[in-house]
């Protein structure tokens, strides 16, 4: 999970857990730390297998679209990694750009707390049934 707002991060994790998802969730508050883990860390998905990324677009050090572009670039070991964009931005141009860059799902965070919590629980149910691809180069 790449989310700079600690309150949103706690809400997301709590409601994903309520939906029955028990997988480890690693939280990064900025893009630099997230990219380093994703691409370089021994337990990160580029070196250690499947993952799903929850990505906020509005980060303190870079845009989430920059992260998305790096992950989905030709030859990237993370090209097949599913990315769920979860952000406050509901601009149609930004939504199209994210899908063009390879986002798998785009969700606008509801402003209302209960609506946000419900949306995340539904996302958790979705996460609990999807299949993840092997990392690039594995059979």
Question: What tens digit of pLDDT does each residue of 75-127 get?
Answer: 999 999 999 999 998 999 999 999 999 999 999 998 898 998 899 989 888 88
pLDDT of residue 131: 81
Confidence category of residue 139, pLDDT binned at 50, 70, 90? very low
Check residue 137 and report its DSSP letter: T
Residue 52 predicted with pLDDT over 80: yes
The string over 18-39, giving b where at least 16 C-beta atoms fall within 10 Å of a residue's C-beta and e elsewhere, is eeebeeeeeebbebeebbebbb
CA dihedral 30, 32, 36, 37 (to 10 degrees): 0
Residue 72 predicted with pLDDT over 90: yes
Cα distances (Å, whole numbers) of residue 55 to 60, 81, 96, 115, 126: 13, 12, 15, 19, 16
Check residue 74 and report its DSSP letter: T
Confidence category of residue 134, pLDDT binned at 50, 70, 90? confident
Residue 133 predicted with pLDDT over 80: no
Which pTM does this prediction carry?
0.90
């Amino acid at each position: 999970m790449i989310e700079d707002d600690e309150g949103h991060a706690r809400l997301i994790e709590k409601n994903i857990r309520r939906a029955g998802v028990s997988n480890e969730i690693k939280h990064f508050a900025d893009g630099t730390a997230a990219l380093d883990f994703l691409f370089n860390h021994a337990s990160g998905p580029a070196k250690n297998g499947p993952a799903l990324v929850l990505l906020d677009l509005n980060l303190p050090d870079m845009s989430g679209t920059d992260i998305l572009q790096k992950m989905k670039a030709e030859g990237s070991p993370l090209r097949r990694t599913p990315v769920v964009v979860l952000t406050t931005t509901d601009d149609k141009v930004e939504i199209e750009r994210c899908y063009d860059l390879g986002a798998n799902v785009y969700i606008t965070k509801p402003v209302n707390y209960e609506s946000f919590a419900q949306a995340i629980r539904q996302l958790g149910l979705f996460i609990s049934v999807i299949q993840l691809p092997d990392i690039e180069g594995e059979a």
